[in-house]
């Protein structure tokens, strides 16, 4: 029977003694460090770490450990999060017409590859758009939008996010620009898949932009959503070769696989608390 595990993620201004203080606190409260990754950003002089710890059944006094870490956080001006790995995050997925990323997320979730509670799917297109997809057990919310109804529709999106208790929002080719207000409400917990190798070809129709530019590589980028379109901190990217023979539709077709694997990596890493924000960038403690 695997022992209960927690994940501790932290960041703070770098100085000697951080690891010693954190490790001692974990030890003193009955925790056993299973894995530790750390990064010292010499440019920003900030320190980052991800530590997984386990403990014999009920040997870890979590409230006491949290209080001990609070004291360490005060001493080192540290931000930290301590999460029980058994607690699954509530995730909601937003999608528009192109559903290949949603299909991939559903498949991986049903396989057990994505440890999450999928609490809903929101689309500005009707259920008939996805007749080939199985939404069994996942509430589907059809929220159509026009330029005139954008604000009302977005209020509905926010209502569903709140009412489902969604902690993480995935834009799986959701082709609506979120207002500054909603982007702010979802800061650090909304991930978008952009279908280009950012910072190239931001905005709409990136494959057509890339084709017109005559690129020899196409790519996809998973990033946190901010008010500035496709400018949010990058989480994961991948590319594939293309050629002069490829039409825009060829690039769209080839790009689907890149988008799927980039988004599923980013989603899994977020679910495993592997991504830490580092200003306009990220630190990703990959496995
Ligand atoms: N505030 C943000 N919202 C969104 C972001 C973001 O980074 N910040 N990423 C986009 C995704 N996206 C490309 O990946 C994208 C989506 C939509 C558009 C766009 O021009 N949409 C038009 C409507 C298009 C349609 O209705 O088919 C619009 O909103 O007027 C460009 C890029 C998701 N949102």
d(CA 98, CA 173): 6
Question: If you take atom 6 of ligand 1, which residue's CA is the nearest one?
Answer: 229
Give ligand 1 pocket residues (Cβ under 6 A). 171, 174-178, 183, 192, 194, 203-204, 225-227, 229-230, 232
d(CA 49, CA 230): 27
Question: If you take atom 11 of ligand 1, which residue's CA is the nearest one?
Answer: 175
* Model confidence pLDDT, tens digit, residues 137-181: 999 999 999 999 999 999 999 999 999 999 999 999 999 999 999
Q: What is the DSSP letter of 128?
A: G
Q: Beta partners for 218?
A: 240
> Which DSSP helix (H) or strand (E) runs through 49?
strand 46-54
Q: Which atom of ligand 1 is found nearest the CA of 226?
A: 8
Residue 60's pLDDT is what? 79
Predicted TM-score (pTM) of the model is: 0.96
- Which of 175, 201, 237 to mutate for ligand 1's pocket (most ligand atoms within 8 Å of CB)? 175
* Residue whose C-alpha is closest to residue 93's, from 115, 116, 122, 117: 122
| Confidence check on the interface: ipTM exceeds 0.90, yes or no | yes
CA of 241 to the centre of ligand 1 (A): 25
Residue 55's pLDDT is what? 85
- Per run of 10 residues, the mean pLDDT along the chain (length 287 residues) is 87 98 96 96 97 83 95 98 96 98 98 98 98 96 97 98 98 97 98 98 96 98 97 98 98 98 98 97 96
Q: Which atom of ligand 1 is found nearest the CA of 231?
A: 7
Residue 78's pLDDT is what? 98
User: Would you please indicate which residues are annotated as catalytic (active-site) residues?
Assistant: 230
């Amino acid at each position: 029977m695997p022992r209960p595990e927690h994940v501790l993620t932290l960041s703070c201004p770098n100085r000697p003694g951080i690891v010693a203080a954190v490790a001692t606190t974990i030890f003193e409260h009955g925790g056993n460090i299973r894995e530790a990754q750390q990064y010292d950003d010499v440019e920003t002089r900030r320190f980052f770490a991800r530590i997984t710890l386990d403990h014999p059944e009920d040997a870890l006094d979590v409230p006491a450990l949290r209080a001990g870490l609070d004291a360490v956080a005060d001493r080192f001006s540290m931000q930290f999060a301590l999460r029980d790995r058994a607690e699954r995050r509530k995730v909601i997925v937003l999608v528009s017409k192109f559903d290949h990323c949603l299909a991939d997320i559903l498949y991986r979730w049903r396989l057990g590859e994505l440890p999450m509670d999928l609490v809903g799917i929101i689309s500005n297109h009707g259920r008939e758009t996805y007749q080939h997809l199985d939404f069994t057990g996942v509430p589907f919310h059809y929220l159509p939008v026009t330029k005139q109804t954008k604000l009302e529709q977005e209020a509905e999106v926010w209502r569903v996010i709140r009412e489902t208790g969604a902690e993480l929002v995935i834009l799986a080719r959701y082709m609506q620009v979120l207002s500054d207000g909603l982007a702010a409400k979802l800061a650090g917990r909304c991930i978008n898949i952009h279908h280009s190798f950012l910072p190239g070809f931001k905005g709409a129709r990136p494959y057509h932009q890339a084709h017109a530019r005559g690129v020899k590589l196409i790519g996809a980028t998973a990033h946190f959503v901010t008010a500035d379109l496709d400018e949010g901190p990058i989480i994961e990217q991948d590319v594939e070769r293309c050629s002069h023979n490829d039409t825009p539709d060829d690039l769209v077709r080839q790009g689907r696989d890149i988008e799927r694997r980039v988004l599923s990596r980013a989603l899994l890493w977020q679910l495993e608390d592997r991504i830490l924000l580092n200003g306009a960038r990220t630190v990703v403690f990959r496995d």
